[in-house]
Structure 1
Amino acid sequence: MKLPKIVESKAKIRFQDCDPFNHLNNGKYLDYFMNHREDELIKNYNIDIYKMAKTEGKSWVSSSNQIVYLKPALLMEIVTIESQLIHYDNSNLKVEMRMYNEDKSQLKAIVWCGFVHYNLMSQKREQHSEDMMTLFSAIYNPITITTFEERIKSIKRPKS
C-alpha cells in the first residue's frame, strides 16, 4: 500500500478561537495545524505520538515554527488543512502545513514546523529508529525552495 505524501483534513473555526473581528486568533492557527497533523499521523501512518510517549518514552517536541498569515480564517468557516514532510534526518523533522478555505481556492496561512525526536526518560535528543527512517523515506515530499521567505515569495508570485 502506497502511503500519502500529502495528508488533508477539514476543520471548523470555532468561536472561542477567534478575536473580536471574528478572525481566527493568530496564536490559534498553530493549534489547528497541530491537531490536524496529530490526527493525520494516526489515520495515515499509524503513529500515535501520545501512545508512543507513554509506551516507549519517546516522541517529538516542537523546535521551531515559521508562520505567515495571508488571509483571515473566519468564525464558523470550514477550512482545509494539508501537511507534508519536507525534511528529515536522524533526529529532526520539518513539516509544511497549509490552511485554505474549504475548496482550497484561497490560501490562508502556511507554517514550517520543526520537530526534534526526544527521549522523555533521559531528557535528550533521540535518534530515529530504522523503521521510522524507512517511513520518512516513503512519505518525504520535499520542496525545492530552501528558505521559508523564498517559499512565501513563490506562493505570492503570480502563476505565469
Structure 2
Amino acid sequence: MELLKTVSSTATIRFQDCDPFNHLNNASYINYFMNHREDQLIKAYGIDIYDMARKLGKSWVSNSNQIAYIKPVFLMEEVHIESQLIAFDTSNLKVEMRMYNKEKTHLKAIIWCGFTHFNLLKQQKELHTKAFMSLFQTILNPIEESQFDNRVDQLRFSSTKR
C-alpha cells in the first residue's frame, strides 16, 4: 500500500474556540492543526504519539510554530485541513499544514510546525530510528519555498487564481 504524502481531514469550528466576534480565536488555530495532524498520524501511518510516549518514553515535542492568518474562520464553519512533512533530519521534523474553507476555494491559514524527537525518560533529544527515517523519506513532500513568508505569498497568489 502506498503511503499518502499529503493527508487531509475536515473539522467544524466550535463555540468554545471562538472570540466574541464568532471568529476562530488565533490560539485555537494551532489546536485544530495539531488535532488534525495527531489523528492523521494514526490513520495514515499507524503512529500514535501518545502510545509511544507511554510505552517507549519517546515522542515528539513542538519546537517552533510559524503561522499566518489569511482569512477569518467562523463559528460552525466546516474547514478542510491538510498537512505534509516538508523536511526532516536525524532528530527533527518540519510539517506544513493548511486550512481552507470546506470547498478548498479559500485559504484560511497556514502553519509551519517544527518538532524534535524527544526521550521523555532521559529528558533529552532522541535520534530517529532507521524505521522512522525510512518512513519519513517515503512520505516527504518538500516544497520549493524555504522562507515562510514567501510560501504564504505563493499560496495566497495560487488561491486567488482558483
Give TM class, smaller chain.
over 0.9
Q: Which residue in 2 is equivalent to 1:50?
A: 50
1:69 matched to which residue of 2? Answer: 69
* CA positional deviation for 1:155: 1.7
Q: Distance in 2 between matches of 1:103 and 1:96?
A: 20
The Cα shift of 1:149 comes to 1.1
Q: Distance in 1 between matches of 2:156 and 2:107?
A: 10
> Matched residues in 1 for 2:34 and 2:157: separation?
27
Q: Which residue of 1 aligns with 2:91?
A: 91
How far residue 11 of structure 1 moved from its aligned partner, in angstroms, is 0.3
| Counterpart position of 1:20 | 20
User: Residue by residue, what CA displacement relative to the aligned partner does 1:87-137 show, whole Å, maximum 9, x if unpaired?
Assistant: 000000000000000010110000000000000011000000000001001
Match of 2:60 in 1: 60
Q: For residues 155 and 40 of structure 2, what CA distance do their matches in structure 1 show?
A: 24
Give the letter aligned to residue 37 of structure 1.
R
Matches within 5 A, 1:146-157: 146-157=146-157
Give unmatched runs, 5+ long, in structure 2.
none
SS of equivalent to 1:157: helix
TM, length-normalised to structure 2 = 0.96
The equivalences for 1:60-139 within 5 A come to: 60-139=60-139
Give RMSD over aligned pairs.
Answer: 0.8
Asked whether the equivalents of residues 12 and 79 of structure 2 are also in contact (C-alpha less than 8 Å), the reply is yes
Q: Which runs of 5+ in 1 are unaligned?
A: none
Secondary structure class of the residue paired with 1:68: strand
Aligned equivalents of 2:38, 2:155: Cα separation in 1? 25
Identity %: 62
2:82 and 2:155 mapped to 1: Cα distance? Answer: 15
Cα distance in structure 2, aligned partners of 1:90 and 1:18: 38
Runs (4+) of structure 1 exceeding 2 A deviation are 156-159
SS in 1 for 2:64: strand
- The alignment partner of 1:154 has SS state of helix
Q: Can you list the C-alpha shifts for 1:129-156, whole angstroms capped at 9, x where unaligned?
A: 0000010011000001111011012122
Paired AA for residue 137 in structure 2: S
Q: Amino acid of the residue matched to residue 19 of structure 1?
A: D
Distance 2:103 2:30 in 1: 21
